[in-house]
Amino acid sequence: MNVQLSLTCLLVMTALASYINHRFLKFPSSVGVTLITLLIAAGIILLDHAPIPYEHLYNPLISLVDLNTLFMNPEFVISVVCFLLFAGGLHICVIELAKQKMLIAFLTTLGVIISTTIIGLGVWWIGNMLQVGLSLPYCLVFGALISPTDPIAVLGMLKKVRAPQALSMRITGESLYNDGIGIVLFITLLHIARGNSIEHNAIAWMLMREIGGGIALGFVMGMITNTFLRHVQEFHVGLLLTIASVMSSFVLASGLDASAPIALATSGLTIGYRLKQGGMPPVTAKAIQAFWEMIDEVLNAILFVVIGLVVLQLHLSPEALKMAILTIPIVLFARFTSVSIPITLFSQLYNYAPYAICIMTWGGLRGGVSIALALSLPTGPEKQLILTITYAVVLFSILIQGMTLQPLISKSMKKSDALKHQAEQS
């Protein structure tokens, strides 16, 4: 495989999909780019079944985009996610995020566990009904990989829908950190599914190392970077320092078995707080924000092109398609339950916008993290089935939920304005 040609093909496809969406469709980037790429992938599949000679077209496409060895590699997807998490963290107000800390803490821990349990049991029941051989441990593995909301899909969507700040902070804060517990659950349940025993203290240590280690590493790297940036007047030096910080954090997190996504999100929040507080020269701060906003947009588009191309890896069967369709409402019900409990428990502490539970349920988008975890499963019949179900849920999340979130938020804002008007009149 020629890596340069493959990368060129990916970038050209991303540029064309972004242009078509910007010029004609005008959907949110995650929706438009994924949809266009999915149509391209569908065209390639149709060529594969066409009763005409097409090898001169089809074979070069497949060789240029070698999905198995480059773009569909879980490490590639996670590394892109980490860069995007850092970029997203730079633009989030830490003070506003801290106001929601108790609700976010529940959603990112117990919320993920509740969702994993409901999804696992639901998918196991569907599998038995359809006589699909997927054991309960593997159903719970699927629950763990699909329960965390994807920060990239969520952050990209919230930019477009102009959600109220408090609601945005809840959804964003949850999505930045809930993959930590999700990854730990995924690893633990995968060990059990493969017949390996794992002790309770090992799970506790893994949880502390992944989440606690990720937060600590990200904070330390962010503070070190801030120390350097404080004295930098040349903006290109500041940009190089942030790039070096991101890549170093990723490598250190991998070496220390800490959560790289959590480390990069924390680092972004730490540096972003200093940017907003004027802790570095203005020219450096403006350049860093502009640069990472550009990186955010470009990598976001690339990631959703990769998600669109995953369909080329699927081996579809009628049973898998039925199971995928029936799984979507179970995932939504699990999300609804895991959101309703904390919102009800903390109803005295926070003010919620109208339809908050519905918005947080429908706004819990899935994306690259779930795809990466599904791709990392060991080769076997379970992998193809779980990958198909995961892809169906991710596509529904991005295309259907993503496109219909704006009207729901608009309805909530109108209801909120009406209630304020009634209160003022009374």
Q: What is the pLDDT of residue 88?
A: 83
d(CA 59, CA 48): 10
Q: What is the pLDDT of residue 64?
A: 47
Q: What is the pLDDT of residue 332?
A: 97
List, in order, residues 6 or more apart from 188 with CB less than 8 Å away: 198, 203, 206
Highest mean pLDDT (candidates 84-98, 123-137, 168-182, 202-216): 123-137
Q: What is the pLDDT of residue 400?
A: 93
Find, among 359, 344, 272, the residue nearest to 95 by Cα: 272
With a cut of 50, say whether residue 399 has pLDDT above it.
yes
Q: What is the pLDDT of residue 157?
A: 67
Give 380's pLDDT tier (boundaries 50, 70, 90): confident
Query: In 194-230, where does DSSP find H-type helix?
Result: 200-207, 213-229
With a cut of 80, say whether residue 17 has pLDDT above it.
yes
Whether residue 339 contacts residue 360, with contact meaning beta carbons closer than 8 Å, is answered with yes
Angstrom distances, CA of residue 383 to CA of 27, 38, 308, 391: 32, 21, 18, 12
Helix orientation angle between 165-193 and 368-375, rounded to the nearest 10 degrees: 10
With a cut of 70, say whether residue 60 has pLDDT above it.
no
Give 51's pLDDT tier (boundaries 50, 70, 90): low
Average pLDDT rounded to a whole number, residues 291-309: 87
Q: What is the pLDDT of residue 43?
A: 81
pLDDT digits over 315-366, tens only? Answer: 788 888 999 999 999 999 999 999 999 999 988 888 887 888 998 999 888 9
d(CA 227, CA 231): 8
pLDDT cut 70: percent of the chain above it:
90
* Residues in the chain, total: 426
pLDDT digits over 261-294, tens only? Answer: 889 999 999 999 988 888 788 888 889 999 998 9
Whether residue 373 contacts residue 165, with contact meaning beta carbons closer than 8 Å, is answered with no
Q: May I ask the CATH class of domain 68-425?
A: mainly alpha
d(CA 29, CA 22): 8
Tokens of 359: 């918005």
Average pLDDT rounded to a whole number, residues 361-378: 88
Q: Count CB atoms within 10 A of the CB of residue 8.
A: 12
pLDDT digits over 213-252, tens only? Answer: 999 999 999 999 999 998 888 889 999 999 999 999 999 9
For tokens 């791709």, the residue is 375
Tokens of 127: 């599998």
Q: Mean of the per-residue pLDDT values for the chain?
A: 85
Q: What is the pLDDT of residue 26?
A: 87
Q: Count CB atoms within 10 A of the CB of residue 72.
A: 19
With a cut of 60, say whether residue 59 has pLDDT above it.
no
Highest mean pLDDT (candidates 104-108, 257-261, 388-392): 388-392
Look up the pTM and report it.
0.89
d(CA 324, CA 322): 5
Whether residue 123 contacts residue 303, with contact meaning beta carbons closer than 8 Å, is answered with no
Which sequence spans correspond to the domains of the chain? 68-425
46-60, 215-229, 264-278, 408-422: range with lowest mean pLDDT: 46-60
With a cut of 80, say whether residue 54 has pLDDT above it.
no
